[in-house]
């Protein structure tokens, strides 16, 4: 704070206070001069006071600002302290959570370690099982290959012994039923087995695969059937020739009957030899057989055989169309009810009358031919092909495979 010196004022007041009458009369100028000095001093003091007041005001303003700032700082401090408390609480909570998480992580690590150990054990177990499965597969495959090799070996032995086996069967049958077995045929060629019934030579030729591959065996049998023509052209040889194949090759042969121009070839297995020979022997039981020439007997047998074959084929075809008709009738019942009801009514009103058979009236062959010719013309008029290749029907097996 600024210090003031009031010397002139003190002197003025002392002078006025102690002045006498005489001094008032004769020394007033000195008092007046002193008053001027005191006044000037007072004025200077007043200015100084104003300056001091300004400084005080400024200081007060600063103090107020500082107080305001201090209050603001106090508020900020209080806010920061509150936030600090909140953050400290959060820190404490986070610390607790971290501790809990560390405990969980520790537990997870233990579980993971345990799982890894279990997984490792399972992997080792699976590896052992896979190895064992592979070993078993290799062993089973090897056993299968060995079994196939053994089977092929047995099949080869069977095929190699097939000719001897067929010869043995034919000779046993001939011996049992007193049938002539021809050791040496009186014509060109050397068939495996030949028997003689009704002055006819009947050939049973054994055929077997040459190797393991059976894919070409069916073609081989067909070729041998065609090659049998050298026997069929002989007059004393029956026109039905039998090719005997091993039983275990029957499933690979596509065709078991070859109806060639001048002869027929039957592909049979060894177990069919005896029934075939017995059926052929039945020809001798007929009284008229001795009166017939071999050509006549052959012709009769071929006609009967063709008739039997045609009859059985007709039964097979009729059965096929009957099955198709049953399927169509079954599908008719799946039609909408209105259409089905109308069809039922039409069925009830319809009538089908085939020609009535009379015992006294003979069915004329000429009439049948005329009817057949008329039906062919009607079919041709409707673009129906009646000249289809009958080999398509003949390719369908007539008998079930064994």
Residue 267: is its pLDDT beyond 60? Answer: yes
* Three-state secondary-structure class, residue 93: helix
CATH at 276: 3.40.91
Residue 370 lies in a domain: no
Q: Verify that 299 and 167 share a domain, yes or no.
A: yes
Per-position DSSP letters for 185-197, written without gaps between them: -SSSS--SEEEEE
Question: Mind listing the pLDDT tens digit for each residue in 371-402?
Answer: 778 877 877 777 776 666 555 666 667 666 65
The domain tally of the chain equals 2
Strands 240-244 and 200-206 come out as parallel
Q: Verify that 81 and 195 share a domain, yes or no.
A: no
Residue 352 lies in a domain: no
* Mean pLDDT value across residues 228-239: 90
Share of the chain above pLDDT 90, in %: 11
- Decide if 267 contacts 257 (C-beta within 8 A): yes
Which two tokens mark 115?
């799982």
Share of the chain above pLDDT 70, in %: 71
The pLDDT assigned to 278 comes to: 86
**What average pLDDT is seen over the chain?**
77
The pLDDT assigned to 41 comes to: 64
| Signed CA dihedral, 70, 74, 79, 81: sign only | positive
* Mean pLDDT value across residues 27-48: 64
Question: Quick one: which of 146, 154, 195 has its CA closest to 174?
Answer: 195
Residue 249 lies in a domain: yes
Question: Mind listing the pLDDT tens digit for each residue in 66-94?
Answer: 777 777 777 887 888 888 888 888 888 87
Residue 209 lies in a domain: yes
Residue 179: is its pLDDT beyond 80? Answer: yes
- Decide if 37 contacts 7 (C-beta within 8 A): no
Q: Verify that 61 and 174 share a domain, yes or no.
A: no
Residue 353 lies in a domain: no
- Please give the order of strands across the beta sheet that includes 180-182: 180-182, 193-197, 200-206, 240-244, 264-268, 257-259
Q: Verify that 262 and 168 share a domain, yes or no.
A: yes
Residue 350 lies in a domain: no
The domain boundary residue, chosen from 269, 291, 309: 309
| Signed CA dihedral, 365, 369, 371, 375: sign only | positive
Report how far apart the first and last C-alpha atoms of the chain are (Å, whole number).
Answer: 141
The pLDDT assigned to 360 comes to: 46
Secondary structure of 146-186 as H, E, C letters: HHHHHHHHHHHHHHHCHHHHHHHHHHHHHHHCCCEEECCCC
- Decide if 301 contacts 263 (C-beta within 8 A): no
Q: Verify that 166 and 293 share a domain, yes or no.
A: yes
The domain boundary residue, chosen from 61, 87, 113: 87
**Confidence grade of residue 147 (pLDDT, cut at 50, 70, 90):** confident
The pLDDT assigned to 359 comes to: 45
Least trusted range by pLDDT, from 89-98, 141-150, 263-272, 362-371: 362-371
Question: Which of 101-115, 174-188, 329-343 has the highest average model confidence (pLDDT)?
Answer: 174-188
Per-position DSSP letters for 313-331, written without gaps between them: HHHHHHHHHHHHHHHHHHH
Q: Verify that 173 and 263 share a domain, yes or no.
A: yes
The pLDDT assigned to 258 comes to: 92
**Confidence grade of residue 241 (pLDDT, cut at 50, 70, 90):** very high
φ/ψ of residue 367, rounded to 5: -65, -40
Residue 250 lies in a domain: yes
Q: Verify that 300 and 176 share a domain, yes or no.
A: yes
Residue 186 lies in a domain: yes
Q: Verify that 172 and 298 share a domain, yes or no.
A: yes
Half-sphere exposure of 301 (CA within 13 A, CB side): 22
Distance CA 229, CA 188 (A): 12
Cα torsion 270, 272, 275, 278 to 10°: value is: -50
Residue 338: is its pLDDT beyond 70? Answer: yes
In degrees, rounded to 5, the angle at the alpha carbon of residue 205 between the alpha carbons of residues 202 and 290 is: 5
Q: Verify that 192 and 279 share a domain, yes or no.
A: yes
* Three-state secondary-structure class, residue 139: helix
The domain boundary residue, chosen from 309, 326, 341: 309
Distance CA 125, CA 164 (A): 57
Which range of residues forms the domain containing residue 50? Answer: 7-87
* Three-state secondary-structure class, residue 389: coil
Query: Hey, what long-range contacts does 183-192 have (CB within 8 A, 24 or more apart)?
Result: 186/236, 187/231, 187/234, 187/236, 187/237, 188/230, 188/234, 189/230, 189/231, 191/231, 192/163, 192/166, 192/167
* 268 burial level (CB within 10 Å; 0-12, 13-18, 19+): middle
């Amino acid at each position: 704070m600024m210090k003031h010196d009031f010397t002139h004022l003190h002197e003025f007041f002392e002078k006025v206070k102690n002045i006498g009458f005489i001094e008032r009369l004769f020394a007033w100028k000195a008092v007046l001069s002193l008053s001027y000095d005191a006044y000037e001093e007072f004025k200077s003091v007043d200015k100084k006071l104003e300056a001091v007041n300004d400084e005080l005001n400024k200081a007060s303003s600063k103090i107020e600002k500082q107080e305001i700032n201090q209050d603001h700082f106090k508020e900020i401090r209080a806010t920061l302290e509150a936030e600090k408390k909140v953050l400290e609480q959060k820190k404490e909570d986070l610390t607790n959570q971290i501790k809990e998480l560390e405990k969980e992580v520790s537990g997870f690590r233990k579980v993971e370690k345990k799982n890894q150990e279990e997984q490792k054990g399972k992997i080792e177990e699976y590896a052992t099982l896979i190895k064992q499965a592979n070993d078993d597969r290799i062993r089973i495959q090897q056993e299968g290959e060995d079994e196939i090799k053994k089977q092929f070996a047995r099949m080869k032995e069977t095929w190699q012994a097939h000719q001897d086996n067929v010869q043995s069967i034919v000779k046993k049958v001939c011996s049992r039923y007193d049938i002539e077995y021809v050791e040496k045929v009186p014509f060109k060629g050397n068939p495996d087995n030949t028997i003689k019934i009704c002055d006819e030579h009947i050939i049973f030729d054994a055929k077997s695969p040459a190797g393991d591959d059976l894919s070409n065996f069916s073609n081989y049998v067909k070729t041998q059937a065609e090659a049998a023509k050298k026997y069929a052209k002989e007059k004393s040889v029956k026109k039905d020739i039998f090719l005997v194949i091993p039983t275990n090759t029957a499933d690979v042969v596509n065709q078991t009957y070859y109806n060639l121009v001048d002869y027929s070839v039957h592909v049979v297995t060894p177990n069919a030899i005896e029934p075939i020979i017995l059926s052929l022997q039945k020809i001798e039981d007929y009284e008229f057989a001795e009166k017939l020439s071999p050509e006549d007997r052959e012709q009769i047998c071929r006609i009967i055989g063709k008739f039997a074959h045609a009859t059985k084929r007709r039964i097979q075809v009729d059965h096929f169309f009957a099955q198709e008709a049953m399927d169509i009738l079954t599908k008719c019942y799946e039609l909408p009810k209105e259409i089905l009801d109308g069809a039922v009514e039409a069925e009830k009103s319809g009538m089908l009358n085939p020609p009535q058979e009379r015992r006294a009236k003979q069915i004329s062959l000429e009439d049948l031919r005329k009817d057949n010719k008329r039906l062919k013309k009607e079919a041709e008029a409707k673009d129906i092909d009646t000249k289809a290749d009958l080999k398509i029907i003949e390719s369908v097996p007539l008998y079930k495979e064994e």
